[in-house]
Amino acid sequence: MDSLPSDLFLSLERPIMSKKIAFLVFAAVTSVLFGLPAVASAGEWELDNSDATFQVTKVNSMTLRAANGDVVICTELSGTGTYLSKTTGIITLDWSGCIENTFGTKCQSGATAGTVTLTNKTFHNVIIGEPVSDGATPIGLLLTIDNASHAGGSPDVTFSCAGGLLSVKLTGNGVIGELESPNCGTAGTTFNLNFEPATPTSSLQKYRQITTTGTMYDLVSDIPSGGDSTSTSSLQETMQLHFAGSVTPTCS
């Protein structure tokens, strides 16, 4: 895609003039982590099929928003994932149509302009809240960058924009998305995975803790060419995980 619709960035609250562009993501999203602390079993949910595979498709465009106001938007998404156990797996995500909003230039992590790829990144099944009134338990996925043991996975996520004049490295300790459906004990073949900021324009995620206690997880952008340019950032996107056969999340 050569350009985004002309009215896409009109919805942003203000034009961003900073040269410290926080193009991150993808972490996903997206998320992202060096040395992930062990997740206690009480904070995990299990998938009944420990070697299940899935395809990833988009529901809407992806928006990455940094605390300094910088924004990156990607319009397309595809990907694949594989469970290595009942609680952990690896995922590859390919975003395309990626443009930063300060200069309107394309961003890329490889040879293709506008495309950012996360390869073989680790994810963990996590419980993100107490059971609600209908008895459903809020569950999600914690996406990290800690995947040194997986062949083909890079130790970090970097990409550039503006023809290589700007480079971005994603850091932070992870990003959490909510698995909206189906919930624990309900079989299904398609899961909605929703990454959502705390508020529509927030640079913090809605979910930042496992079982609402302990470590706070953040996605951070680091722009080496911009000096001291780290900025907490949020990922906003809903994607779908499509399994070949029916699988069931279990929370106890």
Considering the entire predicted model, what is its pTM? 0.78
Whole-angstrom Cα Rg for the chain: 17
Helix (H) or strand (E) holding 81: strand 76-83
Structure tokens at 136: 């459903």
DSSP 13: S
Distance CA 47, CA 105 (A): 40
How many residues are there in the chain? 252
Distance CA 162, CA 252 (A): 49
Distance (Å, whole) CA 114 – CA 198: 27
Rounded CA gap, 112 and 118, in Å? Answer: 14
Say which amino acid occupies 111: A
Instruction: Return d(Cα 126, Cα 142) in angstroms, integer.
Output: 7
Per-residue pLDDT of the chain (252 residues; tens, 9 = 90+): 444 333 333 233 333 334 333 333 333 333 333 334 344 356 999 999 888 999 999 999 999 887 777 788 999 999 999 999 999 999 999 999 999 887 899 999 888 999 998 888 899 999 998 877 666 889 999 998 655 444 444 556 788 888 877 777 777 788 999 998 778 888 999 999 999 999 998 989 999 999 888 888 888 877 665 555 677 888 999 999 999 999 999 987
Residue 112 CA to residue 242 CA, distance in Å, equals 26
C-alpha distance from residue 173 to each of 17, 27, 36, 54 (Å): 28, 11, 7, 25
- Which has the closest alpha carbon to 156: 172, 168, 145? 145
Pair 204, 234: CB distance under 8 Å:
yes
* Rounded Cα distance, 155 and 163, in Å: 23
